Amino acid sequence: MFGEIDHIGVAVENLDDSIAIYRDHLGMRVQHRETVDEFGVEAALLEIGAAHVELLTPTKPDSGVAKFLERKGPGMHHVAYRTDDIEGVLDRMREEGLRLIDEEPRTGIQDSRVAFVHPKSTGGVLTEIVQPAEGH
Amino acid sequence: MFGEIDHIGVAVENLDDSIAIYRDHLGMRVQHRETVDEFGVEAALLEIGAAHVELLTPTKPDSGVAKFLERKGPGMHHVAYRTDDIEGVLDRMREEGLRLIDEEPRTGIQDSRVAFVHPKSTGGVLTEIVQPAEGH
């Protein structure tokens, strides 16, 4: 159903400071940086093999990442699995009774199509399905 | 410094129930299951591309995963990055002032050599460095 881990999402208080940690201490290259209005975050993608660490900081006080930071502090926020057929995956999940946060794909970073599955259906892990845009 | 994401570790209350979720609903194959005494856990590795989801449930009440479940409940516990030179990575991290939980590698699942880095040094993320055993 999924090809591989696309990224892990990490909620951080300060994007520049966190980029410096992953770049300078963990040796990961910054591949991309973008404000994603749909989710109220500014995000940076750090390369690790064919996957990424996605650092996320809120740009709006009511965004999911802002609420996560308030409740839990900085740390791992979600894991994302890559697919080339997000509608097919969502259809199958619906048939199997999984609880979806997004019934339809939304626009994520780098024009990807993404949908979140509720942690209640995945053993406590906020899980994202991502179909990258052509060329990414 | 790191080749790729080796696995994400997920703390769960019930290993069989959680395996069923990842296998039956997320379509991942169970590659391995093992009790790792060094860490006081029973673990299952579910395949996702060249990486794994590592489901972890405590076998001892004082294990790190037991304490995590008490404090935070089920969910993402750590991320592990793969290297072929764990001593070199630990040396470099020490030189750069990162706070290591394990100064020397310990024996992890499938006879891998592993060491944990403190979340204080990695933006709130419990981070594992793993050097797989030959043949894994």
- pLDDT tens across the length of chain A (136 residues): 888 999 999 999 999 999 999 999 999 999 999 999 999 999 999 999 999 999 999 999 999 999 999 999 999 999 999 999 999 999 999 999 999 999 999 999 999 999 999 999 998 999 999 999 987 7
Tell me how close the Cα of A107 comes to any Cα of chain B, in angstroms.
22
CA dist., res. B61 & res. B54, Å (int) = 19
The reported pLDDT for the residue numbered B135 is: 77
Interface of A with B (CB under 8 A): 1-5, 8, 10-12, 17-18, 21-22, 24-28, 48-51, 53, 55, 72-76, 78-79, 81, 93, 96, 98, 119, 121-125, 127
Backbone angles phi, psi at A72, to 5 degrees: -120, -15
Question: Do residues B97 and B106 make contact, with C-beta atoms less than 8 angstroms apart?
Answer: no
Domain A5-131 fold is: 2,3-Dihydroxybiphenyl 1,2-Dioxygenase; domain 1 (3.10.180)
Looking at residue A119, what DSSP letter applies?
G
The pLDDT score that the predictor gives to residue A136 is: 74
Task: Give chain A positions within 8 Å (CB) of B21.
Answer: 121-123
Confidence (pLDDT) at A134: 85
Say whether B51 and A81 touch across the interface (CB within 8 A).
no
User: Quick one: average pLDDT of B57-65?
Assistant: 96
What average pLDDT does the structure give for chain B? 95
Contacts of A5 in chain B (CB under 8 A): 5, 8, 48-49, 51
Strands (E), chain A: 5-11, 30-36, 41-48, 51-58, 75-82, 106-107, 113-117, 127-131
Taking an 8 Å cut-off on Cβ atoms, the answer to whether A79 and B8 are in contact is yes
Residues 6+ apart with CB under 8 A from A31: A45, A46, A47, A52
Closest by Cβ to A74, choosing from B11, B72, B123: B123
| pLDDT given for residue B136 in this prediction | 74
CB contact under 8 A, A49 and B3: yes
Q: Give the rounded distance of the alpha carbon of A42 from its chain centre.
A: 12
Q: Which residues of A touch B17 (CB under 8 A)?
A: 123
